[in-house]
Amino acid sequence: MRLYAAFLSIAVSAALLVLPGSAAAEPAEPPQPAVRDFGNGPERNEVAAGAAEGQRAETLRRAPETTGSYGLSRDRGYLRQVQLPPPAENPADASIKLGLVPYHAIAPKLNDLQRRSDRVSVEIIGRSHQGRDLYLVTLTAPESRGEAGEQSVIRDRIENDPAGAARDRRLAARYKAPVFVNANIHGNEWEGTDAALRTIEELATSTDPQVADLMKRTRLYFNVTANPDGRVNGTRANGAGFDMNRDFITASQPEVRAMRQVMIDTQPVAMIDLHGYVNGTLIEPTTPPHGANYEYDLFIKNTYANGLGMEAAVNGLGYTPAKDGVHPVQIPFRDSDEGWDDWPPIFTPQYAPFHGTVASHTVEIPLRVNNADYNLPVEELRRRSAINTDVAAATIRATYGFVHSKHDQLIADQIEVFRRGAAGEPSKVVPLGIVPGFGPEDVYTTTFPRAYVITGQRSATAAARLVDHLIANDVRVERAKRSFRLNGKTYPAGSYVVDMRQPKRGLANVMLEPGEDISHRVDAMYDISGWSHALLWGATVDSVASGPLHVSSEPVKAAAPTGSVPRTPGSLALKVTDAKEVQALNDLLAQGVAVTWTNDGSAIVPAAARQAAATVSDRYGVAFTRAGSAPGTPLSQVRIAAAASADELFTLREMGFAVTPVSTAVLNAGFDWSGTDVLYVSSGLSHAALNPAARTALDAYLATGGVITRGGTGATFNAAAGLLTATAVAGRGDANGVVRVTSSSGPVGGGSPEHSFVYSPRWFTALGAEVTVEQSYATDGPLVSGHWRADDKGMGGPEAARGQAAVVSGRDERGAAVVLFGTEPMFRNHPKGLFPQVARALYWSAAVTGATVTTP
């Protein structure tokens, strides 16, 4: 489920846990200010330690950013049957207890259905973090190669020539409307998978002429389980500990990249994402705030209509509160004021509309069977799971029925989404009352710029990463063949241009705009409110508001290479301002290259290691320069003990650091500190809860090792361990977004972008003489985009943070080099441009701790 901020204050809402016979339960409580700390809460931390510990090797085997070898075939007809290799039987699969299909039984089941029907095709579209196959089932009437080719041509035309497609009155009659059913993205919300399999079987074997017509008029795509790791393990997250229904703008996980590619390749007009558990069944559309980059008039019209249809189908199953403990359907848009919004495009149904989906829904089936309820008696669990499967199947049935009956209109509306984008029409103000209840509080608009220009001014490596990410999201990017002037500025040849007159301009804009401060518009947000690839990914991105766009350019399929090594001999410098540079440096350190670290945040590579430098330059796309004469401190591989959340562990390892997860329990069990250079603390470690032996061992470590902390847990640890003299002040717990910062030229702040990201922000006051301010919140108000208010007493808001220290460094009495972060530089692997701050903190801490150098 999407944990309902308005409904929840802790992990599980008692109000929504309706047991059979408890007739008095309410379907929804009035929204309250969110107090849940999504960024740093214990739930996130617990997922972290457990998931990460067993997965170290697998993290290293991440699939590449491109989906290259997967993706759907374009030049084959249907059927496209493959004999799926059945996984080994796993009696520990968490689905079994619920009477549901375990992961290992899905492939045999699909193989059987492929044998029995000429409507069922299965393709493997990727692998999970732990290496399990992801299955995409396509249900449709058989197509010759020519017929399938025609479908591809029409689909391309809808996206790439939408004005022509809109004029073609024969198009809809020839086109099979694509529908996408995404199941089980949260691994411990199981029944979407079982409902999908049931639906596939019913439709595959039906002799009903209506079904035959449906198969001729649609293609139904089922991602049977989006999260096989979580299905087997009984976890919300995948094997890497990531909540994948928060990952769509970042796409850090292979499962998410597979889903993204399905949406790009199939261009669904409608989709549902099957979750649990909210009683009564929750069906979107959502409350405000509404994402401003959608064509919302088209979206709300269809999404509400299908929502009502699903409601009727679910309520029509006949389950009752008294008899079954099943409450009537709730639709947040209609039934709640706020707290279940479609503002951030991090969720599947909030990402799909950018690829033309005009009816897009989260569905939360009713009866809880996960977490604490997983321990209920088996008969009760199976009773609940059977009902949940019925409910999920009803929503699938309603959705394909909706598409079947509104076939031509949905296709026309998808065409209109792309047509407006390609024409560069202004954002449409949705008329009030377009659907019942659509009021001024629902109106969100944006102003699309004429173009964005992405340059390597700050970091060519970061610009290349951003360009490749946009392309992977099917956003069109061009490269300038010659230098050009735009908006009074001259750009060099090779600069990248995103012409906003393009079909998927909404997706381009939602990533490249700075975002909006929506603190004043709503009381409570469901999840994050701020993100920005332009401000947080380290590239230089200029917005060009209007005017003619005369640039001689060519389309880009991949960013140009960015690696280089100067021709002149001598030692080489690598400035660490991008995560790729961190990877390159860690690669050199792993090879045993004698690197030194300078306090301006650069690594110096000796002339003798020139060949190794050239190799990593090419491998990671990083640019070496000639080294000056700055003295450095010897640097070797940084070995980290980390009490951190899953996203932080993932990000540190992605940068090539050697990380050993620790926690209070691990230290209390007797931890060998001899292999640790730096301790990283952000969650799961309480100094107060350490036993005497663990404290003694920690004290001994602190005489020789460095410490980096983040957030509240980190600040508490700093105080308890007597490291730096600083008082940590907490901002409001649910505050999050992009903030303006000022950085020093210190070992951590130097080279930082002008923006950072916060979730539950903190700042540091009463600083001791040994403390250096590395980064401060902007004095003219830090929040750029997101949601950050003062609390009820007027405390903890962005006003209070003005000019305050956000990141500090210093050496404590014992000589340990310590850095405290009040920001969230590795949040969900998103703010790529902030990762190197953490790396610089680690290098600096490892290099100078115990060394007899003078620190700044």
| Contact set with Zn ion (CB under 5 A) | 1, 186, 189, 275
Q: Is the CB of 114 or the CB of 370 nearer to Zn ion?
A: 370
Q: Is the CB of 129 or the CB of 275 nearer to Zn ion?
A: 275
Q: Is the CB of 276 or the CB of 456 nearer to Zn ion?
A: 276
Q: Among 139, 126, 310, which Cα is nearest to 226's?
A: 126
Residue number, nearest CB to Zn ion: 275
* H/E segment holding residue 784: strand 783-787
For the CB of residue 187, give the shortest distance to Zn ion in the complex, in Å: 9
Strand segments (E) across 94-174: 120-127, 133-139
Q: Which amino acid is at 580?
A: K
Q: Is the CB of 186 or the CB of 327 nearer to Zn ion?
A: 186
Q: Is the CB of 18 or the CB of 412 nearer to Zn ion?
A: 18
For the CB of residue 328, give the shortest distance to Zn ion in the complex, in Å: 20
Q: Is the CB of 349 or the CB of 601 nearer to Zn ion?
A: 349
For the CB of residue 307, give the shortest distance to Zn ion in the complex, in Å: 17
Q: Among 287, 290, 285, 337, which Cα is nearest to 306's?
A: 285
625 forms bridges with which residues in the sheet?
573
* H/E segment holding residue 321: helix 321-324
Give yes or no for a contact between 34 and 5, defined as CB atoms under 8 angstroms apart.
yes
Provide the token pair at 383. 């009773």
Q: Helix, strand or coil for residue 206?
A: coil
**Phi, psi at residue 377, to the nearest 5°?**
-60, 145
For the CB of residue 275, give the shortest distance to Zn ion in the complex, in Å: 3
What 8-state DSSP symbol labels residue 779?
T
For the CB of residue 144, give the shortest distance to Zn ion in the complex, in Å: 39
For the CB of residue 726, give the shortest distance to Zn ion in the complex, in Å: 39
Give yes or no for a contact between 652 and 829, defined as CB atoms under 8 angstroms apart.
no
Q: Is the CB of 226 or the CB of 576 nearer to Zn ion?
A: 226
For the CB of residue 828, give the shortest distance to Zn ion in the complex, in Å: 16
Q: Helix, strand or coil for residue 552?
A: coil
For the CB of residue 236, give the shortest distance to Zn ion in the complex, in Å: 7
**Phi, psi at residue 787, to the nearest 5°?**
-140, 115
Q: Which amino acid is at 357?
A: T
Q: Among 643, 721, 654, 716, which Cα is nearest to 685's?
A: 643
Q: Is the CB of 364 or the CB of 774 nearer to Zn ion?
A: 364
Q: Helix, strand or coil for residue 414?
A: helix
- Separation CA 728–CA 821 (nearest Å): 10
Q: Helix, strand or coil for residue 222?
A: strand
Q: Is the CB of 187 or the CB of 621 nearer to Zn ion?
A: 187
Q: Is the CB of 186 or the CB of 787 nearer to Zn ion?
A: 186
Q: Which amino acid is at 358?
A: V
- Separation CA 548–CA 754 (nearest Å): 29
For the CB of residue 364, give the shortest distance to Zn ion in the complex, in Å: 7
Residues 6+ apart with CB under 8 A from 333: 284, 285, 286, 287, 300, 304, 307, 437
For the CB of residue 389, give the shortest distance to Zn ion in the complex, in Å: 16
For the CB of residue 243, give the shortest distance to Zn ion in the complex, in Å: 9
Give yes or no for a contact between 122 and 114, defined as CB atoms under 8 angstroms apart.
yes
Residues 6+ apart with CB under 8 A from 684: 45, 46, 48, 49, 643, 644, 663, 664, 713
Q: Which amino acid is at 195?
A: A
Q: Is the CB of 258 or the CB of 723 nearer to Zn ion?
A: 258
Strand segments (E) across 706-766: 706-710, 727-730, 736-743, 755-759, 762-765
Peptide bond into 280 cis (omega under 30): yes
Give yes or no for a contact between 95 and 388, defined as CB atoms under 8 angstroms apart.
no
Q: Is the CB of 176 or the CB of 275 nearer to Zn ion?
A: 275
Q: Is the CB of 1 or the CB of 6 nearer to Zn ion?
A: 1
Q: Helix, strand or coil for residue 625?
A: strand
For the CB of residue 277, give the shortest distance to Zn ion in the complex, in Å: 8
Pairing, β 736-743 against β 755-759? antiparallel
For the CB of residue 49, give the shortest distance to Zn ion in the complex, in Å: 21
- Separation CA 482–CA 71 (nearest Å): 34
Q: Is the CB of 1 or the CB of 643 nearer to Zn ion?
A: 1
For the CB of residue 362, give the shortest distance to Zn ion in the complex, in Å: 8
Peptide bond into 377 cis (omega under 30): no
What 8-state DSSP symbol labels residue 63?
P
For the CB of residue 821, give the shortest distance to Zn ion in the complex, in Å: 30
Q: Which amino acid is at 731?
A: G
Q: Is the CB of 187 or the CB of 711 nearer to Zn ion?
A: 187
For the CB of residue 346, give the shortest distance to Zn ion in the complex, in Å: 13
Residue length, the chain? 856
Instruction: Determine how many CB atoms are found less than 10 A away from the CB of residue 703.
Output: 11
**Phi, psi at residue 330, to the nearest 5°?**
-120, 140
Angle of helix 835-848 relative to helix 579-590, nearest 10 degrees? Answer: 40
Q: Among 670, 682, 679, which Cα is nearest to 49's?
A: 682
Q: Is the CB of 182 or the CB of 315 nearer to Zn ion?
A: 182
For the CB of residue 163, give the shortest distance to Zn ion in the complex, in Å: 38
Q: What is the CA radius of gyration of the chain?
A: 27
Q: Is the CB of 526 or the CB of 620 nearer to Zn ion?
A: 526
